[in-house]
Chain A
Amino acid sequence: MQDVKRIVIKGRAVPVRGNDIDTDRIIPARFLKTVVFDGLGEHSFEDDRAQLKAAGKTHPLDDARFAGARVLLVNRNFGCGASREHAPQALIRWGQGLQAIVGESFAEIFFGNCVATGVPCAVVDAATAEALLSAVEKDPALEVQVDLRTKTVTAGSASYPFSIPDGPRTQFMEGRWDSTAELLAAKDKVRATAAKIPYFNSYGS
């Protein structure tokens, strides 16, 4: 069941600009009417893409220049709103699969869902986010590399530091982001903790 390790993610990148991009935009609710995650990928950003298309514009995800991207570049508070894990589950199924996200900040539940899905979210400052977004917009063929060992993101010849909490970083690097196995290990302690909490014991009645 153990997943592969996530140490260095590299490849082309796709820039999706904007603050506060919520999970309804990443995967609209109507596509959640399913009992599996398969098939979500093609609906990533569906409404945003359709809307731009109708206006004669092209969403970066539809832009052939960014086809095959592995890294998603974003701005601030990415993934806010609904807790749906379907959002990262869609992104890892988009095209060749988006395997890392670099942005100024991430909503908390989204970040956790990305850990569960094996997608490192690297946090950079606003200037770095801008530099990365513009660099890739200018040269879509640029290789972007997210290196968890050194906590640097490299785009062409430029390198920038990013931050990621130590816990998830280690989980990615050791291939241990599947939490269930780890949590199961403490089964006895779970029972012992429950035994000490009054409501777990119906307040002694």
Chain B
Amino acid sequence: MGKSLYEKVFDRHVVTRLPSGQYQLLTGLHLIHEVTSPQAFSMLEGRGLGVLMPERTFATVDHIIPTKSQLRPFSDSLAEEMMIALERNVKKHGIRYLSPDTGEQGIVHVIGPEQGLTQPGMTIACGDSHTSTHGAFGAIALGIGTSQVRDVLATQTLAMDKLKVRRIEVTGALRPGVYAKDVTLTIIGKLGVNGGVGYAYEYGGAVIDRMSMEERMTLCNMSIEGGARCGYVNPDETTFRYIEGRKFAPKGDAWGRAVADWTSLRSDADAAYDDVVTLRGEDIEPVVTWGITPGQSVGVTGSIPSSQQFPESERGIVEEAYEYMSLKAGQAIRGTKVDVAFIGSCTNGRLSDFEEVVRLIQGKGFKVKPHVRALVVPGSQAVRRAMIDKGYDKVFSDAGFEFREAGCSMCLAMNPDKLTGREVCASSSNRNFKGRQGSPTGRTLLMSPAMVAAAAIAGEVTDARDLFHIA
């Protein structure tokens, strides 16, 4: 019986078995940011420990950075204090910092791949649950807590359990106007927000094979929303083409050896999986969440499901969602009025996400509805520069979107971009939890960037395929 990529990569990085029964796992790439690292550095210093392999940790700032202007000092003194702590820590420990001054700053899960830091066969850790994004390259990429950030800094290793592997096969082809975001929301809707607990998700099948790296990143990004600690796609030509030539990619003779090694790590044809789930690409519709978990979603042509359609154990949170969202069972999701539209985040803040929206709206006279506040937030400074080079900033501003600086922005509202009161936001981000976007009563509808743009223009949830004549 063959092995999956997960097993091959995991086994290669095992240092030893710990008395607890967990494995001590070597970490190839450690990414840190300002929110979950300061306490880790304090703990380290409290014990008189240093950073074991500072060359394997890279830092950036994303959660707290304002997107209207990145100028220092930040007006929020708490955010400024976090910046100062990060700057002090990276300097003290000799860690490379992709700061706003370098032009390489951005959301940690956007810049890792962009810089060529994220590579197949690696173990990657970051104090952020959306680290699963990097699995798109065929890496085991794990979100960790602050004590584990301390562990990686001090030892370059983690105490980890070995996960089971579920292969999720998406066959056939997606229909026009259906995106990676719809695939992942469909998977989460089908398997549930805790269906992946204990599993790594391996995504495969014709739909995934055809996806670009940025689409695979969107898909793997939301593995954690389905409860899976990580998700990955086996590396292929698409992966190699994306990496080649990037700043930290192997160069010269090393490139050929790297590709050979990466290829050898692909799941074997006869690999054994703990579970296999198959979806037909043709069955997937543009998806919109209506509730307070990413699993509470419906196709754009559908209506809010009745709580009776759910098992009894889920009815509580379904009822809670109706109340919080002020939506009723049976009501069509189309026509739900939106106040805010947000395109960005580690899920959908890459160049191709904006490119697709530009393709749909450019030159057609579409305008954001006057009552809608619409934000376009590039995932990195590099994405932002590319957008300006291509004139996308103008396309968006002309249509009434605000074009911002790079950061996490309204995904989690640890910066000035927030909902107020009971505003409803059409959002290309990853979480629709209560209060997630900064207002304790704010409401989030997750969807693809194309659907967010359509909602901004229509002023309500609408089928992007109709509005933009996608066929």
Contact = CB atoms under 8 A, between A and B. Distances in A.
Interface of A: 1, 17-20, 22, 24-25, 28-30, 32-37, 46-48, 50-51, 75-77, 80-86, 89, 105, 107-109, 112-113, 116-117, 126, 165-168, 170-171, 176, 178-180, 182-184, 186-187, 189-190, 193-194, 196-200, 202-205
A80 B193 contact: yes
B258 A19 contact: no
Given A22-B433, A167-B20, A193-B13, A76 B145 contact: no
Nearest to A188: B15
Main secondary structure of the interface of A (DSSP, over half): helix
Contacts of B85: 35
A187 B53 CA distance: 11
Interface of B: 12-16, 18-22, 24, 26, 28, 35-36, 38-39, 42-43, 47, 49, 52, 63-64, 76, 78-79, 81-82, 85, 119, 121-122, 127-129, 131, 143-148, 150-151, 154-159, 161, 193-194, 197-198, 224-225, 227, 229, 250-255, 257-258, 261, 293, 295, 313-314, 316-317, 320, 412-414, 431, 433-436, 438, 440-441
Contacts, number: 229
B316 A24 contact: no
B281 to A, nearest CB: 27
A34 B78 contact: yes
Given A36-B39, A113-B145, A193-B15, A204 B320 contact: no
A160 B459 CA distance: 53
A168 B20 contact: yes
B413 A30 contact: yes
A204 B254 contact: yes
**Which has the most chain B C-beta neighbours within 10 Å: A20, A51, A171, A184?**
A20
B434 A24 contact: yes
B26 A35 contact: no
Contacts of A19: 313-314, 316-317
Given A50-B440, A83-B143, A187-B155, A180 B433 contact: no
Contacts of A199: 28, 119, 121-122, 250, 258, 261
Contacts of A205: 250-254, 257
Contact of B254 (A25, A75, A113, A202): A202
Given A83-B128, A105-B197, A109-B144, A190 B15 contact: yes
Contact of B47 (A32, A77, A180, A189): A180
10 contacts: A19-B317, A24-B412, A28-B440, A89-B146, A105-B197, A109-B143, A178-B147, A182-B159, A184-B49, A190-B52
Given A25-B435, A33-B414, A85-B146, A203 B261 contact: yes
Contacts of A186: 15-16, 24, 155, 157
Contacts of B16: 186, 189
Given A46-B440, A47-B434, A82-B128, 4 more contacts: A25-B434, A82-B412, A107-B194, A113-B146
Given A28-B435, A32-B414, A77-B227, A179 B147 contact: yes
A35 B433 contact: no
Contacts of A33: 64, 76, 78-79, 82, 414
A74 to B, nearest CB: 12
Nearest to A174: B19
Contact of A80 (B20, B81, B156, B227): B227
A20 B78 contact: no
The 5 closest A-B pairs by CB, nearest first: A167-B20, A116-B147, A85-B145, A205-B254, A35-B38
B205 to A, nearest CB: 25
A176 B18 CA distance: 12
Contacts of A193: 13-15, 26
A107 B197 contact: yes
Contact of A77 (B157, B194, B254): B194
A133 to B, nearest CB: 12
Nearest to B143: A83
A183 B44 CA distance: 13
Contacts of A126: 313
A136 to B, nearest CB: 17
Given A168-B20, A184-B154, A202-B250, A18 B316 contact: yes
A204 B147 contact: no
B36 A76 contact: no
A17 B414 contact: no
B76 to A, nearest CB: 7
A109 B253 CA distance: 39
B22 A167 contact: yes
Given A108-B229, A186-B16, A186-B24, A180 B151 contact: yes
A112 B148 contact: yes
Nearest to B160: A112
B239 to A, nearest CB: 14
B19 to A, nearest CB: 7
A85 B129 CA distance: 11
B261 to A, nearest CB: 5
B317 A200 contact: no
Nearest to B86: A35
A182 B129 contact: no
Given A1-B47, A36-B39, A197 B12 contact: yes
Contacts of B13: 193, 197
